[in-house]
Chains A and B, each alone.
Chain A
Amino acid sequence: MRHLLSIGDLNRDEAISILDTAVELSRISDGQVKKLPTLRGRTIVNLFAEDSTRTRISFEAAAKRLSADVINFSAKGSSLSKGESLKDTAQTLQAMGADAVVIRHSASGAAQRLADLEWMSGSVINAGDGTHEHPSQALLDAFTIRKHLGKGARDLHGIRVAIVGDILHSRVARSNVLLLTLLGAQVVLVSPPTLLPVGVESWPVTISYNFDAVISEVDVVMMLRVQQERMSDLFFPSAREYSRYFGLNSERMARMPQHAIVMHPGPMNRGLEISAEVADSGRSVIVEQVSNGVNVRMAILYVLLAGGPLEMSVN
C-alpha cells in the first residue's frame, strides 16, 4: 500500500491489519513513554486546504508519536488561499522532500488527483475530500466499534449500525458504508429523503426515513453533523423539525438496546442532531473516538511508511 485515498481501495485483510496495528500501537500509547522511533527522519506534511482542527491535530499527534517531522500547511494565510493551484502546492511540497502528505480538501477527489498525477513521489493520505471520503475516520470508527462490540472477533460480522443524518454531503458516511460492510456489519442509513444521494440504491445498505423504527434494532447509532445552512437549500423545513425527527435525545436513546453505543465524528451541533445529555452520557463513546483516532492514524502512517503492518505481539 502506498496511498490511502478511499476505503474502496482496501480489501478485508488490509483493513483488519490496520485495525490490528492500531491495537498494538495503542498499548504503547497507554504506556509511560508514548513515542516510537519508527519514522525518525521522515517528513510528513499536513496539507489542510479546508478548516479542520481535530483531524489535523490527530494526524500531527500520530506522526509525532512515531517520531516523524511534521510540517503543518493550512489554507488560511498560505498560498492556497491566494489562488495557488493544487499542482503548484504539491510540487512545492515535493521539492521540500515530503515523505507523505496528509491532505484535507474541499474538492472531492483532490487526494486521488494528488496521487495519480505524480506531482509528488510520497504517500498521499486522504484526510477528507469534499463530500467523497474520510477513510481514517471510518477506520477509527470501526476500531471503536470492534473494541466495544467485537467480542474478540477480528471483523464486525453481524453488528448492526445506523448512520443517521446528512448522508448526501457526508464523506464520513461514504467511507463508513464501505468499511463497515467490508467488515461484515449491517448498515442502515437513516435520513430525510432529501439528504440521501440519488444512486444510494446501489449501496450495500438498507434505507430508513424513520429513526424511531430503527433505533431499537441496532448496536451502534452513528450521528452525523448537520449543517445549519442546509436549511436554506431546502433540505428540511427547520432545524427544530430536523431535530424532532432525526435528532438523538434522551427519550430515543432510552429505546436503544442496553449494549448499544452512540458515536459522532465531531464537531457536534449539540441540540440539533444530538442532545447534550446524550453526548455526555455513558452510552456515548464520542470522546474515546478521538483518542482512538490517534492510534488508528499512527497505524495508517506505520503501514504506509514503515513498510507494512505491525505484527501482533504474543502474550
Chain B
Amino acid sequence: MINNSYILRNASLLGATKSDIHISHGVIKEIGSVVISDSATVIDIAGQIVLPGLVDLHTHVREPGREDSETVLSASRAGAKGGFTALSAMANTSPVADTAGVVEQVFRLGQEAGYLNVFPIGAVTHALEGKALSEIGAMADSIARVRVFSDDGFCVSDPLVMRRALEYIKKFDGVIAQHAQEPRLTVGSQMNEGDISARLGLKGWPAIAEEAIIARDVLLVDHVKSRLHICHVTTAGGVEIIRWAKARGIQVSAEVTPHHLLLTDDLANSYDPIYKVNPPLRTEKDVMALREALADGTIDIVATDHAPHSSETKDCEWQEAAFGMIGLETALSIVYKTMVQTKLMDWAAVADRLSIAPAKIGHYDQHSQGLTVGAPAHITVINPENNWTVDRDLVLSKSRNTPYHGMELPGVVTHTFFNGVATLLDTKVVSEVMN
C-alpha cells in the first residue's frame, strides 16, 4: 500500500490565502495550519497556486475507433499533465456513443486508466445523423450516468429534432451541448469568412452560421424550459445573443476554447492546417469579446475541444486536412496568459470557469465542491512563476497537432491529485495510478 496522504505546505489557495492542505483517504481532510505527521508526504509549494482539479466538458478521446490518434488512457495522461481531474468524452467515436454499451465501455476504460474521471457524452441523434434520437434514456440510466448529450462535430440543425431532444432530457435534468453551425451556410467551409479568406481563396465559414443557431436554440430552450449548453462559442455576435438570453433568464450556458481565446484567423496565411479547426479561428475583435464574456460570466466555462489527429491528416493541403487541435496540456497556461496576466480574471474565477462551473453543468457532483474540507481531493497546482516552451514531440497525447509548438507559455502545472492520489508529481505524470 503506497502512501496516499499528502500535506501541501504554503499553498496559495486560489491565488489568495496562504495555507496548508492535508489530503488523506481521498478527501481534503484539513485546510489551514496543518501539523506534520510522519505518515504524510510533505510537498512545499510556496509561491504556487492551488486550484480545484480541472474539469473539461469537451474532449475527443477517439476511443473506440481511432486508437491510433488517442485512447482513453493517453487522453487521461495528457489530462493529468494539464491539471485535469475529469474529462468529458465526446460522442463522435466509431462506433458512435449513441447506445448504453458504448458509453459504458468508455466510462469503464476511464476507470481502468484511473488518472481522472472520464464522463462519456452521449450522442443526441442516432449515428450523429440529426434525424432520430439516440438511446438517450438508456445512456442516462447506464453505469456511466450520462447527463450531457451532444452531436458535436455536427449541428443538431433540424429544429424539431432539437426541440424534442431538449424536452426529452428534462426527465433527468440533462443538457444538450449544441455544436452551433448552420450546415447550409457552411458547405465546404474552411476558415473564418472575412478579409483573410477572401484573399487566400479558402471557402468562408461565416460568423452568422454560428449565431443563427445560437439564436434559434436559446428561443427553443426558453420555450420548452430545458437546459442548453453552447459548445465552443467563437463570435462576438454569439456572445451578444447569449448575454441577451441570460438577461432574460433563459437556461443557457456556454463554453469557449483556449485556442479561440488566443489565436486568430490570420494564422491561415501560412496555409498550415495546424491552424484549421472547427469552428474556425476568428478575428481579434472576436477574441476580445470572448475574453470579456468569459470574465463577466456570459461565457460560463473554458473547455478544450481537445481534438487529436494523426500526422498525415495535417501534413497536407489545407482543404484536405482534418479540423481540430489538441489542447489538454496547454489549456491552463493559455487561460493564465489570456485571462489572468491580462488582469481580466483572478485565480478564483479560473477555478470557477475550469472546474466548478463545468462540473455543475455536467452534474459531475463530486467535482463541484471546490477546495472545501471533506470534498473529494481533486486538486491542481500551478507554478505561475515558471514559463515553458511547447514541444509537440513531448506531448503525452498520441497526436502532435498542437498549434502552440515552439511557443513560450506562462505557468507550469506541477501537481495533480485525483481522489487524493497524485497523478502528476513535480510535473511528471505518474507511470501508474495506485488506487
A108 and B200 form a contact (CB under 8 A)? yes
Residues of chain A in range 223-276 having any CB-CB distance to chain B below 8 Å: none
Shortest distance from the beta carbon of A204 to any chain B beta carbon, whole Å = 12
Question: Which of chain A's residues 101-159 have a Cβ closer than 8 Å to chain B?
Answer: 105, 107-110, 112-113, 116-117, 129-133
Q: Contacts A86-B316, A202-B195 given; indicate if A108 touches B201 (C-beta within 8 A).
A: yes
18 A–B contacts, CB within 8 A, in A order:
A85-B315, A85-B316, A87-B315, A107-B317, A107-B318, A108-B200, A108-B271, A109-B318, A113-B316, A129-B201, A132-B202, A171-B201, A197-B197, A198-B198, A199-B197, A200-B198, A203-B198, A203-B199
How many Cβ-Cβ contacts under 8 Å join chain A to chain B? 73
Q: Nearest-CB distance from B200 to chain A (Å)? A: 6
Name A199's closest neighbour in chain B (CB-CB).
B198
B194 close to chain A: CB less than 8 A? yes
Cβ of B211 within 8 Å of any chain A Cβ, yes or no, is no
Q: Is the CB of A132 within 8 A of B272?
A: no
Chain A residues with CB under 8 Å of B195's CB are 199, 202
Tell yes or no: B196 within 8 A of A by CB. Answer: yes
**B319 close to chain A: CB less than 8 A:** yes
Question: Does the CB pair A116–B270 fall under 8 Å?
Answer: yes
Closest 9 CB pairs of A and B: A199-B198, A109-B271, A132-B201, A131-B201, A107-B317, A197-B198, A108-B201, A199-B195, A202-B195
A134 to chain B, nearest CB (A): 10
Q: Assess whether B204 is in contact with A197, with CB atoms less than 8 Å apart.
A: yes
Q: Are A112 and B271 in contact (CB under 8 A)?
A: yes
Interface size class of A (residues with CB under 8 A): 20 to 34
Q: Assess whether A174 is interfacial by the CB under 8 Å rule.
A: yes
Q: How far is the CA of A199 from the CA of B207 in the complex (A)?
A: 13
Contact B197 A109 (CB under 8 A): no
Residue total for B at the interface (Cβ-Cβ under 8 A): 23
Name which of B199, B201, B271, B312 has the most chain A CB atoms within 10 A of its CB. B201
Contacts of B426 in A (CB 8 A): none
Residues on B with C-beta less than 8 A from A129 are 201
Within the complex, the shortest CB–CB distance from B11 to chain A, in Å, comes to 46
Interchain CA distance A199-B195 in the complex, whole Å: 4
**How long is the Cα–Cα vector from A113 to B269 in the complex, in angstroms?**
11
Interface residues of B (CB under 8 A from A): 193-204, 206, 270-272, 312, 315-320
Do B316 and A132 touch across chains, with their CB atoms under 8 A apart? Answer: no
Taking a contact as CB atoms under 8 Å apart, the answer to whether B312 and A85 are in contact is yes
Choose among A107, A109, A110, A112 the residue with the greatest number of B CB atoms under 10 Å from its CB.
A109
Task: For A197, list chain B residues within 8 Å (CB).
Answer: 197-198, 204
C-beta contact mask, A199-210 vs B, less than 8 Å → 1, else 0? 110110000000
Given that A112-B271, A130-B201, A131-B201 are contacting pairs, would A198 and B206 also be in contact in the complex, using a CB cutoff of 8 Å?
A: yes
A153 CB to nearest chain B CB (Å)? 28
CA distance A22 to B271 in the complex (A): 30
Chain B residue with the shortest CB-CB distance to A112: B271
**In the docked arrangement, what's the CA distance between A100 and B365, Å?**
62
Q: What's the minimum C-beta distance from B232 to chain A, rounded to whole angstroms?
A: 22
Question: How far, in whole Å, are A198 and B194 apart by their CA atoms in the complex?
Answer: 6
In angstroms, how far is the closest chain A Cβ from the Cβ of B416?
A: 36
Most chain B beta-carbon contacts within 10 A, residue among A110, A113, A116, A202: A113
Among residues of A, the one whose C-beta sits closest to the C-beta of B190 is A108
Q: Give the nearest-CB partner of A203 in chain B.
A: B198
For A113, the chain B residues whose CB sits under 8 A away are: 271-272, 316-318
Q: Report the Cα distance A132→B201, complex, angstroms.
A: 4
Contact status A198-B193, CB under 8 Å: yes
Residue of B nearest to A174 (CB): B201
Partner of A198, one of B204, B315, B317, B319: B204
Which of A107, A112, A117, A174 has a CB less than 8 Å from the CB of B319?
Answer: A107
Q: Give chain A residues whose Cβ lies under 8 Å from the Cβ of B200.
A: 108-109, 132
Contact between B196 and A199, CB atoms less than 8 A apart? yes
Across the interface, A108 reaches (CB within 8 A) one of B193, B270, B312, B319, namely B319
- A108-B318, A109-B317, A110-B317 are contacts. A199–B271 as well, Cβ < 8 Å? no
Q: How far is the CB of B75 from chain A (nearest CB, A)?
A: 27
Residues of B within 8 A of A130 (CB): 201-202, 319
- Besides A86-B317, A108-B318, A202-B199, 18 other CB < 8 A contacts? A85-B316, A87-B316, A107-B318, A108-B200, A109-B271, A109-B317, A112-B270, A113-B271, A113-B317, A117-B315, A132-B200, A171-B201, A174-B201, A197-B204, A198-B193, A198-B194, A198-B197, A199-B197
Whether the pair B272, A116 counts as a contact (CB closer than 8 A) is yes
Bound state CA distance, A208 and B199, in angstroms?
19
User: What CA separation (Å) do A133 and B312 show in the bound complex?
Assistant: 25
Q: How far is the CA of A85 from the CA of B315 in the complex (A)?
A: 9
| Given A109-B271, A116-B270: A199 in contact with B199 (beta carbons within 8 A) | yes
CA distance A112 to B317 in the complex (A): 9
Q: How far is the CB of B67 from chain A (nearest CB, A)?
A: 22
- CB-CB nearest in chain A for B202: A108
Cβ A174 vs Cβ B199 within 8 A: yes
Per-residue CB contact flags for chain A residues 83-102 toward chain B (1 = under 8 Å, else 0) read: 00111000000000000000
Chain A residues in 8 Å Cβ range of B315: 85, 87, 117
Provide the bound-state CA to CA distance between A130 and B272, in Å.
15
Which residues in chain A, 49-98, are within 8 Å of chain B measured between CB atoms? 85-87
**With the chains together, A86 CA to B315 CA distance in Å?**
9
Q: Inside 8 A of B271's CB, which chain A residues have their CB?
A: 108-109, 112-113, 116
Residue of A nearest to B194 (CB): A199
